[in-house]
């Protein structure tokens, strides 16, 4: 890293250099990873967000929109537009809830499931290429560290896992 030239002559509050900022580093890594997947999404005519919705429904089955938004990491207004587009493309279907007719349950259509089945070999190849370039053990370690980070930041401090160090890693 090289030092940066001062932008202003007056005193400014210091903030974390973006080269050492965790949020920025995570965004850079996400962009590097997604650069492998984006061409596949474009070729299939779907967006990254649409793929997240399709993937969640494929893996977890039928659910309501609130749960789908939570699981696909989307805001409700974005999800509404995505659902409209996926339904128009016949990738998903809706039905009223069993206990509450005001509830709408969403699931993949046969066309949506077929799309995932057809894409799986290509996606597996992308995952293998990333593991080959970064190292399979490092991919596993990174996923474990990211899971640990998520839990450390989302669990209340008094419920945090006991950090018994084993090989430099906290164990639950």
Residue 86 CB neighbour total at 10 angstroms: 22
What does each C-alpha distance from 51 to 42, 108, 130 come to in angstroms? 11, 12, 19
Measured CA angle at 69 (ends 68, 71), to 5 deg: 60
Residue 29 CB neighbour total at 10 angstroms: 12
Q: In whole angstroms, what is the distance from residue 44 CA to residue 120 CA? A: 12
Q: What pTM does this model have?
A: 0.79
Q: Where are the domains of the chain?
A: 22-134, 135-172
- The pLDDT > 70 percentage for the chain reads 85
Strands 104-108 and 92-96: antiparallel
pLDDT of residue 159: 63
Q: What is the pLDDT of residues 6-27, one digit of tens each?
A: 666 767 777 777 778 999 999 9
Helix (H) or strand (E) holding 99: none
Among candidate residues 110, 143, 127, 168, the one with its CA nearest the CA of residue 33: 127
Tell me: pLDDT of 164 over 50.
no
Reported confidence tier of residue 161, pLDDT bands at 50, 70, 90: low
- The pLDDT > 90 percentage for the chain reads 71
**Tokens representing 117?**
């089945």
Judge contact between 109 and 93, C-beta under 8 A. yes
Q: What is the pLDDT of residues 69-127, one digit of tens each?
A: 999 999 999 999 999 999 999 999 999 988 888 889 999 999 999 999 999 999 999 99
Report the CATH fold assignment for 22-134: Arc Repressor Mutant, subunit A (1.10.10)
pLDDT of residue 71: 96
């Amino acid at each position: 890293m090289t030092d940066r030239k001062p932008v202003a002559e007056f005193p400014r509050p210091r903030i974390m250099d973006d080269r050492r900022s965790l949020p920025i580093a995570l965004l850079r890594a996400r962009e590097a990873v997604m650069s492998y997947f984006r061409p596949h999404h474009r070729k299939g005519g779907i967006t990254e967000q649409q793929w997240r919705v399709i993937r969640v429904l494929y893996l977890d089955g039928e659910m309501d929109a609130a749960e789908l938004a939570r699981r696909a990491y989307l805001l409700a207004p974005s999800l509404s537009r995505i659902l409209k587009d996926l339904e128009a493309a016949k990738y998903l279907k809706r039905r009223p809830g069993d206990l509450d007719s005001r509830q709408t349950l969403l699931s993949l259509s046969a066309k949506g499931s077929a799309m995932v089945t057809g894409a799986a070999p290509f996606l597996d190849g992308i995952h293998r290429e990333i593991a080959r370039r970064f190292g399979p053990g490092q991919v596993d370690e990174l996923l474990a560290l990211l899971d640990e980070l998520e839990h450390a930041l989302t669990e209340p401090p008094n419920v945090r896992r006991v950090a018994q160090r084993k090989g430099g890693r906290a164990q639950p």
